[in-house]
Chain A
């Protein structure tokens, strides 16, 4: 089956530093990837849609200069949290859409998430 690898699984960084999270589709090409954020015991909040070769589309209220997304290839999207602060501490999950633009029943595959703690 389709596998999405997300790395690192856990990261601790100091306030003011930047952290990069990678999301790779291992055995399929993903023209579209999605980045979600999840607070403890809460649902997933879509942050942005990442399209290969073009700029990401950010959801309302998400700072694009703070959460930099790059989707340079069909198998890799990265999320960089710039100048991290403690309030950025969260669980970040990526997902990938197999195929081109997908159809209504196209599978969406999820990574295992990254636990970011900013001290």
Chain B
């Protein structure tokens, strides 16, 4: 079964400092990994994805993620965090269901708190 794990419920970081949100995955076959962000009472916004190619993936709002096959990880990073980055972040793996690639399996989510 496909799954992702986010080991941290919450990450606290001061504004301007580097931000890392951890994610590890377990898949059979090639992993198709995604990061989403959710602001309070809103849906999810896509940040970035890893399909194939370079292990370092760049996404929206200055975020990037590093795919590490040996460690089965896909950590989200931002070199300099902003207060506006405070939100709930989800790692997800895409699952093939029947003949559709739509189903996403989400991690538990990590709350990011960036303090001024």
Contact = CB atoms under 8 A, between A and B. Distances in A.
Interface of A: 4, 6, 9, 32, 34, 41-44, 46, 49, 91, 93, 95, 97, 101-113, 115
Contacts of B105: 46
Counting chain B residues whose Cβ lies within 8 A of the other chain, the interface size class is 20 to 34
A84 B42 CA distance: 22
Contacts of B108: 42-43
18 contacts: A4-B43, A9-B41, A42-B108, A43-B90, A43-B106, A43-B108, A44-B90, A46-B103, A46-B104, A49-B97, A91-B41, A93-B43, A101-B99, A102-B102, A103-B101, A104-B101, A110-B45, A113-B43
Contacts of B41: 9, 91, 112-113, 115
Interface in B43-97: 43-46, 49, 51, 90, 94, 96-97
A46 B111 CA distance: 20
Nearest to A59: B103
Contacts of A108: 34, 46, 102, 104
Nearest to A98: B102
Q: Which of A42, A43, A102, A112 has the most B CB atoms < 10 Å from its CB? A: A43
A110 B39 CA distance: 13
Given A93-B43, A101-B99, A108-B104, 19 more contacts: A32-B102, A34-B102, A34-B103, A41-B111, A43-B108, A43-B109, A44-B44, A46-B104, A49-B103, A93-B44, A95-B44, A97-B100, A101-B100, A104-B94, A105-B32, A108-B34, A108-B46, A109-B46, A110-B44
B112 to A, nearest CB: 13
B32 A102 contact: no
Contact of B100 (A43, A93, A102, A113): A102
Contacts of B94: 104
A93 B36 CA distance: 14
A8 to B, nearest CB: 12
Nearest to A107: B46
Contacts of A97: 100-102
Contacts of A113: 41-43
